[in-house]
Structure 1
Amino acid sequence: MPFADTSPHEAYTAAVERVAGRALGVLMDAGGSVVPAGFAAPDPHPAAAGDPDADLPGLRVLGSDAFAPHILRGTPLPADQAEAAARAFAAFPPDSLGATPETGWIITWQDWATARTLTRFGLTVDVPRPGDGTQVADASTWQSWSVRMAQLSSLALPGLDGPIHAAARRNAESLARGAARAMLRRDYRTAARIARWLAFVAVDGVAFPLELAPLLRHVRLFGGGSTRTVLDTRIAQHVTGLAS
C-alpha cells in the first residue's frame, strides 16, 4: 500500500482522482500529465514514487472512462496504461469492488464497456458476458431508474451500444427528470453522470426537456472539486460538441 498514512478507502479514492486527472489532461489537450489549472483540486495523496501499481484501483474503478479521452480525441493509448488496465482486472476481481447479487450486474456491464474500449487499442480482456439489460427496461419509477443509469454512465460513449443504450434512448425524459432532481438535491456527481447519457442520446437526435450546456457548466462550477465529476462533464461536452 503506497499510502502509509491513509486508509485503504482514502488511498483508492486518491487513485481514482489521479487517473481521472490524467484522463482529463488528455481530454483538455494537456498531454495527459496534469489537470488544467482551475478544473479540480490538487491530489492530497500523490502516488508513491516507483510504485507501478499505485493507480490500479483508479483504473479499475474508472474503467472505460480512463481511456475514453483517447477515443474522443483520437490519441493513442500509451502501452504502459493498457498493460496496467489488464493488471487492474487481475488485481481487483468483481467481488473486490463490493459486488452483491443486487449490484453485480452493474459491474458486469461496466467491465463489458471497459473491455470493448480496450479492444479498440488492441488489448483483449476476458470479462463475463453481460445480461439483457432487463434491470433498466422499466423506467416508470424514474427516480430510482435514473440513479441506476447514472451508475452505468461509463457505457455512454461513442462506439458502444446495447440494451442499456436502447433504454436510454427510449427514456430520455426520465433521464432529464433524474438530472434535474439530482441538481435540486445538489447531488452533482449523479447529475454529471446522467448528463453523460443525455449527451449520448442527444447525438442520436433524441430530444429531451433540459438544456444540457448550462447544466454542465453549473456542475463544473459547484461540483465540489472532484476531478472525476469534472471528467464526466467534459466527456459529455466532447460527445455533443458543446462549447466550454
Structure 2
Amino acid sequence: MPFAETSPHEDYTAAVERVAGRALGVLMDVEGTVVPAGFAATDPWAAEPHDRDADLPGLRVLGSDAFAPHVLRGTPLPADQAEAAARAFDLFPPDTLGASPETAWIITWRDWATARTLTRFGLAVDVPLPGDGAQVADATTWQAWSVRMAQLSSLALPGLDGPIHAAARRNADSLARGVVRAMLRRDYRTAARIARWLAFVAADGVAFPLELDPLLRHVRLFGGGSTRTVLDTRIAQHVTAREDS
C-alpha cells in the first residue's frame, strides 16, 4: 500500500508536537496532569527509533519551551538534548531575511529567549540582539497587544527578564482581558499562551482580576488535543507553583 506524502508544514507540525510531548513528559510527575490520549509519560526521550534530525524543526519552533521543564524543575539538560539544540541552530540559524517587520522582531525575541535558556545549561548560541520592546510598550489597544504577547509566550519563564516582561507586569489587566477574549472565541491556543504571562506576573506578586487555575484546567480539557497547548498550561502552572515551593 503506498503511503501518502506529507507536506513540509505537516512534517514541521508533527515535529513540534513530538518535541512538546517530550517536554511535557518531564513535567508529568505531578498527580492529575491531563495529557492527550495515548501519550506515555515514561522515559520521554527514549521514544521509538526514528530520525532524530526530523525533530530539529520542532526544537527551533518551541525554542525555550523545549527546555523549560528543566528550568522549572532545576534538572540538568540531557546531553543528547543539548546536542540536538546545537544542531537545530546550525540547520535553522537565526534569520529574519524576508520576514515582515512584525514577524522579524518576534523571531528575534524568541531566539534571544532560547539562547538565554540554553546558556543556563552551558550551551552558547549566537543570536542577534533584540530591540527595546517598543512594539509592546503601549497596551492601549489591548486586543492586538495581548495577541502579540501570546506570540512571545516562550519568554514567560523564570530567569528571563527584559522590556517585554516589564510590559507584562505593567499591563496585567490587559492580559486578563486578552485571555478572556480568547476563551470566549474558543481560541484555546492563544488563551494558553496569554495565561503563561499571567502566571509569570502572578509569580512576581502582580494581581489581576482572574482566577488562573480554573482557566488552565478548562483549556487543558477543551484545548483540542494539542500537546503544545497542554504544555503551555503545565508550564503556567509550574511557574506559579515554583514560587510557592
Please confirm whether the aligned pair reaches a TM-score higher than 0.5, indicating the same fold.
Answer: yes
The question of 1:39 aligning with 2:35 is answered yes
Residue aligning to 2:6: 6
Q: How far is 1:225 from its partner?
A: 0.3
| Aligned position for 2:19 | 19
Q: CA deviation at 1:98?
A: 7.7
User: 2: distance between equivalents of 1:23 and 1:54?
Assistant: 16
Q: 2:146 aligned with 1:146, yes or no?
A: yes
Aligned position for 2:238 = 238
Give distance in 1, aligned partners of 2:66 and 2:157.
12
Aligned residue for 1:67? 67
Letter paired with 1:194: I
In 1, the alpha carbon distance for the partners of 2:210 and 2:223 equals 19
RMSD in angstroms over aligned alpha carbons?
A: 2.3
- Contact 2:96–2:104 at 8 Å: present in 1 too? no
5+ long unaligned stretches in structure 2: 40-46
Matched, 1:86 2:86: yes
Instruction: Provide closer, same or farther for how the CA distance between residues 147 and 10 of structure 1 changes in structure 2, counting only shifts above 3 A.
Output: same
Do the aligned partners of 1:48 and 1:54 also contact (CA within 8 Å) in 2? no
After superposition, give the CA deviation of every residue in 1:107-138 in whole Å (9 maximum; x if it has no partner): 10000000000000000000000000000000
Contact 2:94–2:128 under 8 Å retained in 1: no
Q: Does 1:127 align with 2:123?
A: no
The 1-side partners of 2:133 and 2:226 are apart by 29
**Contact 2:115/2:126, CA 8 A, preserved across alignment:** yes
Cα distance in 2, alignment partners of residues 158 and 95 from structure 1: 26
Per the normalisation by structure 1, the TM-score is 0.89
Aligned AA (2:226): S
Aligned-partner SS, 1:102: helix
The aligned length equals 233
Residues 1:176 and 2:172 aligned together: no
Sequence identity percentage? 85
The residue type paired with residue 207 of structure 2 is A
Instruction: Decide whether the 8 Å contact of 2:195 with 2:212 is kept in 1.
Output: yes
Distance in 2 (alpha carbons) for counterparts of 1:85 and 1:98: 24
Three-state SS of the structure 2 residue aligned to 1:81 is: helix
Read off the aligned partner of 1:85 and give its amino acid letter.
A
One-letter identity of the residue aligned with 1:25: G
Unaligned runs of 5+ in 1: 31-35
Q: Distance in 2 between matches of 1:241 and 1:215?
A: 15
Structure 1 residue 49: Cα displacement: 3.8
CA shift at 1:101, angstroms?
2.3
Q: Provide the rounded CA distance (Å) in 2 between the counterparts of 1:94 and 1:19.
A: 19
Partners in 2 of 1:97 and 1:184 — Cα distance? 36
Structure 2 length-normalised TM: 0.89
